[in-house]
Structure 1
Amino acid sequence: MSEPVKLIGCFGSPVVHRAELALRLKGVPYELITEDLNNKSELLLKHNPVHQKVPVLLHGDRPAICESLVIVEYVDEAFDGPPLMPADPLARAAVRFWASFMDKECRESMWMALWTDGEEQAGAISAAKANLTLIEGQLPDGKMFFGGDTIGFLDIAVSGIAHWMEIFEEIAGVRLLTEEEHPTLYRWAREYTANQTVRQCLPDRGRLLAALAPSRDIFVSIAKTMSAHK
């Protein structure tokens, strides 16, 4: 009998989506424990005392695994099923690099582009679009996904571009990813969100928009804090 797998997550989180999708692509049955981040449970505080954030993966009696991309790599190595990481060590290093680029430079530039204004916003929009061009350049010629013909680690890492960014763009009134400027990445985003396995763990667009829209002022405040610390 296989050991139980539990995922502590919350509604609408792009990083929880990463962990869920990895489990689904590998065919791993799991229980999703939905967390209220405004009233964090003892379970979450026990298993992620450092950051007190989701996602957290619980696999049997093993120590908890935290951080979305760490979870994705663990799931890929711990369970049978289609590989998510490339077999070649150099290719693995490359996708780890671009996943890190997504979570640092790319995400920050997009956030500032969405939630600042004036000259600062103009500069951030330029930087965000340049970063999207760099991400787009990693799509293999003639392939549907970053992983080739199937969804792989880098597709999962940049999945926020495919579903969440469009919603943030609508709330902010800013367009960053367009078919005219980034046709290949735009096509990838449509292919990704249309994938049957992906759709099983994508939050409903309307519900997600309704949940995020009231937080617009908070997003602006976060951007101002980020700007002040540059």
Structure 2
Amino acid sequence: MDAIRTGGPFMEGDDGYWPVLDEFQSLEAFHAFAHHPAILDVCDKLFGEKTLVHPRNIGRIMFPENTKYTTPAHQDFIHIRGTEETYTGWIPLGPCPEELGGLSVLSGAHRRGIYPVKPALGAGGRGIDTAPIEAEDFYWVAGDYEIGDALFFHSHAVHKGMPNQTSDRIRLSVDYRYQGHSKPVTDGSLLPHFNRMAWDEIYKDWASTKYQYYWNAFDLNRV
């Protein structure tokens, strides 16, 4: 799926934003994609057990001319909790050159544990002051992404969104989270993103029940 084109700025909080996000959240293909066999094969080997795919999948819609709401530098563990051995899979839904706003990772910074957070604009509402970390010779890594590219990283990895610097294109991407099924998981990770809609509402137009409430098949360690 290539980037959508739009006629002007459109930001989180606008009346038209939430219906678009709800429609994204209700797509069966959006949730099924998180269970792609190629992804799960790698994750099963990484965790040494069957993988739990967090159902709290996130669709990112990054609009042009709205750079102040670009996702700030942060660590996912602050938002996920549960086990630290959770990995995020960030996947752009189409070609994503740097100007469209991909993802950047602060190389090596995950080795220092959890950093203090502060309020910030953009997804999550909390960010990290990375200036002291960068002063220690850690550096940001970014680049162009093509169809089929995917970036997987540990919950301690410091990362941020890149600003969408185009004038008329939307960057679409997805965030999926993975962990070993025996490790601790929070109840929040089993709820829909933003919890604006119940699972039954999300599932109502799906053609299959294969990926509905699949996590109940595991004897989960809920914390």
Regarding TM over 0.5, the answer is no
RCO comparison, higher one (Cα < 8 Å, 6+): 2
TM-score (norm 2): 0.25
Q: Which has the higher helix share?
A: 1
TM-score (norm 1): 0.24
